[in-house]
Homo-oligomer: A and B are copies of this chain.
Amino acid sequence: MATIKDVASAAGVSISTVSYALSGKRAIAESTRRRIEDAVRELDYRPNAGARMLAGRRTYILAVTEPLRPDTYTPAHMAFVLAVATAARRYDYDVLLLTQEEADAGLRRVTSSRLVDGVIVLDVLRDDERADLVRSLDLPAVLIGVPDNTDGLVCVDLDFEAAARLAVDRLADAGHLTVGLLGHPASVYERGSNFPPRFRDAFLEHAAHRGLEARFATGEHDPAQVRAAVTTLLGPDGDLTGLVMHGEEQTQREALTYVAERGLTVPGDLSVISAGSTFDTSTFDPPLDVIPLVPGASSERAVELAIAQLSEPVEPRVELLAPTYVDHGSVTPR
C-alpha cells in the first residue's frame, strides 16, 4: 500500500507538501499540485486512516446510535440511518453504527477512545438516557428528534406539531367536521417515543381549536385490529369524513383496503391524509395526499450541525423543519 512518502518521492516533493496539497490547507504551485495529483492517482494512494486520526484532530467518523428497540418501525428508522450515512459521506465522513446494547457504554467507548468526531442520536425517547450522556460528553452531538428536556442539546426534526395542524387545517378548510387519526401501535406511544405523541396531541388540540370532533385510534400490526380501529374511527353512525394516518405503511394500506371493502370511496366519502410518512403514498390505491417525513432533510442538517461543532461552538437549539403538503387528490370538500 502506497504511503505519503511514496507519493512525495514520486512527485519530487516533501511529504508535508503532499499533505498540504491534499488537504488544501495552504497554497501550492499549480505545477506541483499537478505532479502530486498524478502521483496519487498512479499509486492509488489513500491516506492511512489510523495515521490521519492520530496526527490530525479528526477521525472522519461519526457515531450513529439507533437502539432499534422491539416494536420500532424499522423501515423508517433504517431510512434515517441510511440518510445519515449518506449525508455524512458528503462531508467525507463515515458512520459507525452503535446498537441497543451499546447505547450507553458504546457512546462512552467510541468517545473516549477518540474513534469518532461526533454523534448522531436517532430514535429519541421523550426521556432518553442518551440525552444525559450526550450532555456530559463534550463532543459534537445532534439528536434527530426532540426529548422532553432539551436543555443544552442540539435537536433537529420535522415539526410534527405543525404537520398535525396542517393536516387538521386542510380537512377543516374543506368543511369536514369529524376527523380521525389512525396512529402507530400503542406500544410505540407507551415506550416513550417522542414524535408520535407530539403529532397526536397537536392533532387533537388543533382539531378542538378548529371546532372539530376528533378521534384517535392506534394502528396495530394485526390486520384485524387495524380494521377494528378504522371501524371505531368511522363511528357507529359513520359520520367520519376526514381521516389522517400517521403510522406504518402496511397499516395505512390495510386501512385503505378495508375502507374500500366497506364500500366507502376516497375521497368521495372519506378524505384521507397520510402524515409523517417516509414511504411513497402516490402508489397507494388511491394515491394519498401526504405530509412527508423526509429522512434526508433532518439528517443532512443534523450532520451539518455536528460537523460544524468541530470548528465553532454551536448554540443549543431545537430546529424544527417546516412540513410540506403534497397533493394527490385524496382530500375534497365535504
Contact for A223 among B50, B81, B221, B253, CB less than 8 A: B253
Each complex incorporates copies of this chain amounting to 2
Interfacial chain B residues near A74, Cβ < 8 Å: 74-75, 78-79
Besides A50-B55, A52-B113, A250-B250, 15 more A-B contacts (Cβ < 8 Å) are A46-B109, A46-B113, A49-B114, A50-B50, A64-B97, A74-B74, A75-B75, A78-B78, A94-B96, A222-B253, A222-B257, A222-B285, A223-B250, A224-B257, A224-B285
A95, CB-defined interface residue at 8 Å? yes
Q: Is A254 an interface residue (CB 8 A)?
A: yes
Q: Which of chain A's residues 55-97 have a Cβ closer than 8 Å to chain B?
A: 55, 59, 61, 64, 68, 74-75, 77-79, 81-82, 85-86, 89, 94-97
Query: Does A29 touch B at the CB level, under 8 Å?
Result: no
Q: Closest B-chain residue to A68, C-beta based?
A: B82
Do B97 and A85 touch (CB < 8 A)?
Answer: yes
Where chain A touches its partner, the secondary structure class is helix
Produce 1/0 per residue, A180-218, CB < 8 A to B: 000000000000000000000000000000000000000
Interface assignment of A53: CB less than 8 Å from any CB of chain B: yes
A148 at interface (Cβ–Cβ under 8 A)? no
- Which of B53, B82, B260 lies in contact with A53, CB distance below 8 A? B53
- Known contacts A46-B109, A74-B74; A97/B95 CB under 8 A: yes
Contacts of A53 in B (CB 8 A): 49-50, 53-54
- Given known pairs A50-B53, A285-B224, the reply for A110 and B94 (CB within 8 Å) is yes
Task: Assess whether A249 is interfacial by the CB under 8 Å rule.
Answer: yes
Q: Write the chain B residue with the least CB distance to A110.
A: B94
Chain A residues 261 to 282 lying within 8 A of chain B, measured CB to CB, are none
Provide the bound-state CA to CA distance between A173 and B253, in Å: 37
Cβ of A1 under 8 Å from chain B: yes
- Within the complex, what minimum Cβ distance (angstroms) separates A264 from chain B? 15
A30: Cβ under 8 A from any B Cβ: no
Q: List residues of A (80-134) whose CB comes within 8 Å of B's CBs.
A: 81-82, 85-86, 89, 94-102, 106, 109-110, 112-115
- The 4 closest A-B CB pairs, nearest first, are A50-B53, A50-B54, A250-B250, A49-B115
Nearest CB on B from A77, distance (A): 7
A42 within 8 A of B: no
A27 adjacent to chain B (CB < 8 Å)? no
Cβ–Cβ < 8 Å partners of A249 in chain B: 221
Known contacts A222-B253, A223-B257, A285-B222, A48 near B86 by CB under 8 Å: no
